[in-house]
Amino acid sequence: MRILLVEDDAALADGIARALRAENFAVDIAGNGEDGAHLGDTGIYDAAVLDLGLPVKPGIAVLQEWRAAGRSLPVLILTARDGWSDKVEGFRAGADDYLTKPFRVEELVMRLRALIRRAAGHSATLIACGPLSFDAQTGQFELDRLPLRLTALEWRVLSALMLRKEAVIDRLDLLEHVYEGDVDPDSNSLEVIIGRLRRKIGRDLIETVRGRGYRLTGRLTGHPTGHPTEARP
């Protein structure tokens, strides 16, 4: 999962980004409204965290531009403005959620996970695909009811596949969900990650659709040779 964070307070932005990366999110940071608007227009993100009091271009204007252009990414406004009129203005501009400063990072993470889950069309927090299950609220994967240990990159790929299970996801789309904007991945990096995932969850769960991408499917015909025992992704 990849997050766009538009926040002009550099120390706060760095702290939020560290906390989100600790939960396996990829994070791109923009320090002003103009840069944030550009990234939101050109990048693939699962959600955006948007401050209102931004230099160059205010957050409300950024949000209005995204919605006018048909950008549907979930947007959580994170701001010190706690007045009712500010909240009304934010939701009318197209915000999906509104959180005021000061805040707990744990709440921000939970709200982002809920926004991403609902945007993917899942009403329940627990998503299942064959023997694999994903708690979209805690970020925990299980295989045959046993906790699954994943690296951050593996978690990002598998969560993207899980949220759109049975759908073919383009290779470039998956890469966009895995790496942050300043990283230029090796051309074979996604195949390496897919290979590691297949060894952990079974080859049949992830299908390669030649010329198109990958698909997570519950039509299981084989099992991996063993199960990890650690609990946290």
Contact (CB, 8 A) for 63 and 75: yes
CATH code, residues 2-119: 3.40.50.2300
Q: For residue range 114-148, what is the model confidence (pLDDT) as tens digits?
A: 999 999 999 999 999 999 999 999 999 999 999 99
One-letter identity of residue 163: L
Candidates 175, 151, 211; CA nearest to 44 is 175
Instruction: Cite the residue boundaries of each domain of the chain with CATH code 1.10.10.10.
Output: 126-216
Where in the chain are all domains bearing CATH 3.40.50.2300?
2-119
CA distance 171 to 198: 16
Return the pLDDT at 172: 87
User: Which is it for strands 140-143 and 146-147: parallel, antiparallel or unpaired?
Assistant: antiparallel
The band of 185, judged by pLDDT with boundaries at 50, 70 and 90, is low
pLDDT, position 82: 92
What is the pTM for the complete model shown? 0.88
Whether CATH 3.50.50.60 fits 126-216? no
